[in-house]
A and B are shown apart, each in its own frame.
Chain A
């Protein structure tokens, strides 16, 4: 456990909260802005992560790839529309050094389809590397390691 001052901790919490709010609003174009140009975003089943198997459900390496995903969501991927709702726990700050933070936080995402009840869609933890830039905090890396290995049909939107 690394010590960060309350102001920094608040910033990290706010950053996480903003991220969830953007996804829950379906404001897809703003999603890549949370990341550095060169970045890692992976949504990976826990079994692969734990066993050191590299396959991820989504594995992106640049803001360009994130933008391609956004285009996919908006224009090319047919899917049954749904709402998302993120509930994200407080970050556990593992490392803090010179404007670079390694954090871990639990999340649960609920999915609500138009003619159905709200259901638990995906739960897991974020493993983050967050850096301070002139434009504010950004993810250098966000690994979404999910316990919900049996995916209910598909994952279209980012988590």
Chain B
């Protein structure tokens, strides 16, 4: 490849109107990154914050994040779910520190400003001053109104046990935002059954947050990078599959059916990660039992832009929450769950298969590793660009996996919103 002599291009421009070649600076530029936070995480979009099963009782709370902003998800006494920003209206203290717990109200430790679970200011100490020698000293001015000093309240939407929130109260309704095509796949997993949280994994990955969205919009890599997927037929280029996007190309679902284990063919020819004859010493890792709610596909990986990935990989189900931390780093929080109706055997099966996923997963650990190395490459030569041209240059739904259409789709949306 021909290299530019100008490594740091100054004012960066995206050549042409295509999206098959993404400039490396789109992953490294701090100004662009802040604009992404503004336009994707803080306005116009719903972001994932958690599951209702994480806060079952009145007063239960969970601390989490939207973009870089710390927020609290709380179950109110009337059963409703509130989301407020974790910043005291008085002096800006990020007052709540535990990840989970139960509170009657939120009190900032600094000056004990007290808020209801809805985020309304209940009272402030020394409001009426201190009476001394017959005189009232200090206190808040008479114009001080509690209602002007509540916590920032977010708009909240729940759907079948999943909670989404937005700082932007003019955001379109959740169902409209997800869109009818994606809603079908979201509702497939979250169909109203009661969820049971199995636990958390947290990893900090030194890469741009978009790379994780792209990773789950990229059906090209799993059959190549992930030996387990290709050897055990879980994900291969010749599996019967579909790629579906919403009308804006921002969300996507990769839908596939498990093929035969160990079979060879075009999809494995010359693939160095394919290990013919590889057998597990303990096959309980892949003790897959088909579930009725799958309605056929053995895997549906859904990306809801910008904040979450919904995973169904055989019997393992999780949400994967993307929390950016600057252009070159994000936190990735996995919440594995099952359903209250699961038998003990099914729960054990989900936990066994969880060994494939997460920060040590047989197939997911290397995604984090590769993302970090991609970011290293971007930082090194920001003038360069990616090439996502498998399957051509355009963005459309397909009935196969041999394409990077979903990545092109995401950047089509990204360019429209970012005006880059």
Contacts and interface: CB of A to CB of B under 8 A. Distances in A.
A58 B228 contact: no
Interface stretch (A1-9, A15-23, A68-76, A123-131): A68-76
Given A61-B284, A155-B365, A156-B365, A55 B351 contact: yes
A155 B372 contact: no
B369 A78 contact: yes
Contacts of A62: 281-282, 284
B355 interface: yes
Interface string B316-342: 000000000000000100001000000
A154 B203 contact: yes
A144 B418 CA distance: 45
B201 A76 contact: no
A57 interface: yes
Nearest to B207: A153
A151 B282 contact: no
B99 interface: yes
A65 interface: yes
B198 A80 contact: no
A83 interface: no
Interface stretch (B36-44, B356-364, B379-387): B356-364
Contacts of A77: 362, 365-366
Interface stretch (A40-48, A86-94, A102-110, A132-140): A40-48
B145 interface: no
B329 to A, nearest CB: 10
Nearest to A44: B199
B202 to A, nearest CB: 5
Contacts of B347: 54
A156 B204 CA distance: 15
B373 interface: yes
Top 5 closest pairs, chain A to chain B, by CB: A55-B199, A64-B281, A64-B282, A53-B199, A76-B227
Interface of B: 99-100, 197-206, 225, 227-228, 273, 275, 278, 280-282, 284-285, 331, 336, 347, 351-352, 354-355, 358-360, 362, 365-366, 368-370, 372-373
